[in-house]
Structure 1
Amino acid sequence: MMCPAPALSATATDATVVFDGGNLRVDDVCAVARQEVGCEIAEASLKRAQVSRRQFEDTVTSGTPVYGVTTGYGEMIYMLVDTDKEVELQTNLVRSHSAGVGPLFTEPESRAILAARLNSLAKGYSAVRPELLERLALYLNEGVTPAIPQMGSLGASGDLAPLAHMAATVMGEGYLLRDGEPVETGTVLRSLGITPLRLRFKEGLALINGTSAMTGLGCLTMSAAWDQVRQAEIITGLVVELLRCSAGPFQPEGHDLARPHPGQIACAANLRTLTRGSGLLRSHADLRREAADSKEGRPVTRTGVYIQKAYSLRAIPQILGAVRDTLRHTHDTLETELNSANDNPLFFGGEGIEEVFHGANFHGQPVAFVMDYATIALTQLGVLSERQTNRLLNRHLSDGLPEFLVAGEPGLNSGFAGAQYPATALVAENRTIGPASTQSIPSNGDNQDVVSMGLIAARHARRVWENNNRILAVELLAAAQAADIADSRAGLSPVGRAVYDAVREKVPFVDRDRWMSDDIEVAAAALAAGEVLAAASAAADGPIL
């Protein structure tokens, strides 16, 4: 069993993604958020919402106490609120919790958050009116994107602050994004002919009391992380070719039969695909023969002969395979959360269950944990990349390449010596980004006394992903430089040559010392856009898992 990156959802490749509360995938969220694919709500979900809402209103008007509908919130639950204050109660909740701070999420990130909230409500247990579901879908289809601050969520009673900023726009308040800048909601809605909604029983609470900010951001980060691990494998394949490593550590028997972790199997399979046709890799038999020649004093074609290379060149399937398995677990947890009703209270009247469920599905612990796991895994991906870069730059480890890949006069020129520093610094920075899911601080009069910090965990994973793009960029540029210095281009595999060509289309050979910052940023942007993966996929004679 392999652990390939998730395939694109069928709905995500069509003109529309259907929200039904039960079948939304991470790739669907990404398609709606990034590609602005249209969305619609399943007819069954609208009918379910209508029935649920009617029965819920009957329950409230019968005098049954319901948290946040006939009571105050949090520590003020003991305070009763008349049912004729329904709109005022919901409106005040959204206004009071619109207290997020810091930079705004990007438009794709805000759209992902909106999509995650829509699907949770479309499950039908939050007892909101169909009109509210339709309004969120309208926002996605018309490009009406809430301006949502990134900081302020505890991830316990849901992502209250960020989702309140989203909910405020439904009421016609707060700000929307236009060309990345916040604009008053009322101005935009009037220009589009959209009338704000008045929030009724529970609807303000249903909008803000859920895990949709951490889940939406997590979906985008996981999608990008899958591309990153595959691009790390692609760059690694180029490096092991240039350092004339053995292909033995990637042969299938050592993985499929001996240690069948799915991610390890997939990574080894990718490395075989990526290096197929290489004239530079050595077989184990080649290494044995060269070792014998060296022992007998006969000339060898290499500066050093090693039956086994260092871990950074030999344990790649074990390291990046574990990253894959961690990302898969994170991905699966996010999809479960996407298709969950995660607010409180919940109403199952449509299922024939009249009891109102007062629980804690809003608690973000499952998402917080897996986003922390992803942060740890991605941090190790960066560690591996920087160590591989070091083997290209260190003349004692690089199989005859000049120190720091200097093309001209060493000493007068420093080559890639300076370029290694940001990679090393970013690895160290990634290591300082510790787990957020264990940072609980009580709040809300000790009502929220154990919190998840799930949105912080999701932001941490995104930050490590961003840092890794620069770490990988340094390795990619160093690999291209090594190919030129050693004149190894003709011996590269088809994928290796395609990746080399893709780099050289953007960044020229470093023939003498020059400003390196721009080169690194250009390569990092190409990695963030998946361009290395695209180049490798076009040249590979099989799928890159």
Structure 2
Amino acid sequence: MPDEVTVDGETLGIADVVAVAREDAPVSIDDDAREAVRTSRERVESLLDTDEAVYGVNTGFGDLVTERISRDDLDDLQVNLVRSHAAGVGRELTREEVRAMMVARCNTLVKGYSGVREVVVDHLTTLLNEGVHPVVPSRGSLGASGDLAPLAHMALVLIGEGEADVPDGEGSERVPGDEALDAAGLDPIELAPKEGLALINGTQLTCGVGALVVHDAARAVRMADLAGALTTEVTMGSTASSDAAISAVRPHDGQAASARNVKRVTADSDVVESHRNCDRVQDAYSIRCLPQVHGAVRDAVAHCREAVATELNSATDNPLIYPRDQVNDYATGTDEVAVLSGGNFHGAPLAHRLDYLTGAVADLAAICERRVDRMLNPHVQEDYLPPFLAADSGVRSGYMLAQYAAAALVDEARTRGRPSVDNVPVSGNQEDHVSMSAQSLFEAETAVENALTVVAIELLCASEAAEYVDDDLAHGVGTGAAYEAVREVVDPLTDDRPPSPDVDRVAALVASGLLEARVTAALEHTLE
């Protein structure tokens, strides 16, 4: 069982989201955060005793903001909000995507600016800890006012409506929301004023699942460094292009890190030493420019990671509730409580960086595919490598079609849209500029998945090419560990066979982190 993750509204990290989403780490709420929740709720309650118009508490939503709601209808307002906004369509979010969204939402609520009761955050943590997951269609969010539709489907289960998957032996069973709550030992929540809005208004689909995406993107870069290093060996390339002196005079952080990785995994490589003084003056760009290209992608991942890490610990709903002494005199409210209506729900800070990440990761996949071609293509590969790595080429095609698959994945990643530059006004033009951050998220998610598979194809082909390297020549410490790990799940080619299962097995090694763990153990050092 992974360590417990404590949500406090301030310190939830990307690794924490991964642990909750993928490893079922238990979740608890920090005591100080509980006090912040209670205090925030008291502020909302004090507002109800005034005639002050407070958006989402005693007014309608969106273009209906001018509609004042009577005291008797305030609770119904919140329930109707959740029901009416559960308009999601398309494929359902995966189990891990739902869990990432839930823990991110819980963390923003405990910051103490949303005005919910403790029962709301306790229900969220209990559902996570009991393995009960709302059914959430993935499409429908515009990224402003946050991820409304997906979060509304999550909130439906809290009030005993909608559907959820509950544990059932080795799998799960889909049941109505009230039965799901009962399975977790919970009663449906009767939403109080502000709580429905607080549950659905924010960016927690984008930043929660975005945490998984940047985690996977960082792994894709590290494993691309490893794959590229192994390709450099088996194509008799040079690691001189990864010399620290080159990075020192163009000091981009990502470039230097990728160069260090290449040097680290090829340490003690007899293969590299065997052709140090060969006639080749320079390698092709896909080998020689590995640190520059991989490093640029690495820097893009870091830029997106920064935004996601900030967003995970931000208050992103609207309006936000403050003590009066924290804000200026223009805020509405009372002498003790200030209400600020703003736009922290707008997903632009995430959308633009996710679009940037999509393009960068597509380029990572592209350079990996070019190295695959250099191992397979009889017009550019070394003489000792048979065409398409087929020992009896002509009769056999070897891994020819593995490169086709890589090319298809690269093309898909390259042609993903740039949703953050689009805009469709909604809600009677009250919400006249939206971020499309959820669409940017899914584009980035697809690009990263594709890149991980292309990296796996490169590792598969490089391991096969290694079969033609002189047996007396040892690989580097890290590249040798990678070769051995691949060979544990995929045998060398002795005859043509469908490459698809081979790709799937190596892709699982890469995506799961098992390959990285093997290489790290061999190096006694983590890759950067």
AA aligned opposite 1:75: D
TM-score between both structures, scaled by the size of structure 2: 0.94
Name the SS for the 1:177 alignment partner. strand
Question: Which residue identity lines up with residue 494 of structure 1 in the other structure?
Answer: V
- CA distance in 2: counterparts of 1:16 and 1:468, whole angstroms: 31
Which residue of the partner structure matches residue 226 of structure 2? 234
Q: What is the aligned partner in structure 1 of residue 147 from structure 2?
A: 159
Per the alignment, residue 259 of structure 2 pairs with 268
Q: Do the aligned partners of 1:489 and 1:497 also contact (CA within 8 Å) in 2?
A: no
- How big is the shift at 1:181? 5.6
Query: CA offsets, 1:216-273, max 9 Å, x none?
Result: 1101111111111111111111111111212211111111x20111111111111111
Quote the offset at 1:15 in angstroms: 2.7
Give the Cα separation in 2 of the matches to 1:121 and 1:73: 20
SS at match of 1:280: helix
On the 8 A contact 1:273/1:541 being kept in 2, the answer is no
Over residues 483-533 of structure 1, what are the superposed CA-to-partner deviations in whole Å (9 max), with x where a residue is unaligned?
A: 112345742112222111111111111122222122112222222112221
* SS, match of residue 176 in structure 1: strand
| Gap regions ≥5 residues in structure 1 | 1-12, 291-304
**Quick one: structure 1 residues 517 and 15, their matched pair in 2 at CA, closer, same or farther if it must change by over 3 Å?**
closer
Percent identity of equivalent pairs: 40
Structure-1-length-normalised TM-score: 0.91
* Counterpart residue number, 1:366: 349
- For 1:400, the aligned partner's letter is D
Task: Report the counterpart of residue 402 of structure 1 in structure 2.
Answer: 385
- Aligned residue in 1 for 2:449: 466
Three-state SS of the structure 1 residue aligned to 2:457 is: helix
Corresponding letter in the other structure for 2:373: N
- Relative to 1, partners in 2 of residues 1:401 and 1:147: Cα closer, same or farther, differing over 3 Å? farther
The answer to whether the aligner puts 1:213 opposite 2:205 as a matched pair is yes
2:121 is equivalent to residue 133 of structure 1: yes
Does the 8 A contact of 2:127 with 2:184 survive in 1?
no
The residue aligned with 1:204 is: 196
Aligned match of 2:187 in 179, 189, 195?
Answer: 195
What one-letter code is carried by the residue in structure 2 that aligns with 1:90?
Q
The amino acid of 1:281's aligned partner reads V
Please tell me the residue identity of whatever aligns with 2:260.
Answer: A
Distance 1:489 1:524 in 2: 29
1:282 Cα offset (Å): 4.7
Number of the residue aligned with 1:103: 91
Choose which of 59, 67, 82 in structure 2 pairs with 1:71: 59
Inter-CA distance 541–42: structure 2 relative to 1 (3 Å threshold): closer
Q: Determine which of 334, 342, 347 is the counterpart of 2:308.
A: 334
Structure 2 Cα separation of the partners of residues 345 and 186 of structure 1: 29
- Is 1:306 aligned with 2:280? yes
Distance between the aligned counterparts of 2:34 and 2:434, measured in 1?
Answer: 33
Q: Which residue of 2 aligns with 1:54?
A: 42
Unaligned ranges ≥5, structure 2:
328-336
Q: Distance in 2 between matches of 1:536 and 1:404?
A: 29
- Which residue number corresponds to residue 320 of structure 1? 294
User: Does structure 1 retain, via aligned residues, the 8 Å contact 2:402–2:457?
Assistant: yes
Amino acid at match of 2:456: A
Residue in 1 aligned with 2:250? 259
The answer on whether the counterparts of 2:354 and 2:440 sit within 8 Å (CA) in structure 1 is yes
Distance 2:524 2:110 in 1: 42
Q: Distance in 1 between matches of 2:126 and 2:404?
A: 48
Q: 2:20: which partner in 1?
A: 32
Pairing 1:517-536 to 2, within 5 Å after superposition: 517-536=500-519
Q: What is the number of equivalent residue pairs in this alignment?
A: 515
Q: In terms of mean alpha carbon deviation, does 397-406 or 530-539 score higher?
A: 397-406
1:496 aligns with 2:476: no
CA contact (8 A) 2:286 2:371 kept: yes
**Within 1, Cα distance between the matches of 2:290 and 2:284?**
10
Greater mean alpha carbon deviation, residues 433-442 or residues 181-190: 181-190
User: Secondary structure in 1 aligned to 2:5?
Assistant: strand
Moved over 6 A (4+): none
482 and 382 in structure 1: CA distance in 2 versus 1, 3 angstrom threshold: same
The partner residue of 1:91 within 79, 93, 97 is 79
Moved more, 90-99 or 239-248: 239-248
Distance 1:529 1:397, change over 3 A: same
| 1:14 to 1:525, Cα distance in 2 relative to 1, 3 A | closer
What residue identity is the alignment partner of 2:176?
E
Tell me what 1:5 maps to: none
Mapping 1:380-419, distance limit 5 Å: 380-419=363-402
TM-superposition CA deviations, 1:99-129 (whole Å, max 9, x none): 1011111111101000110111111011111
Q: 1:492 to 1:310 in 2, by over 3 A?
A: same
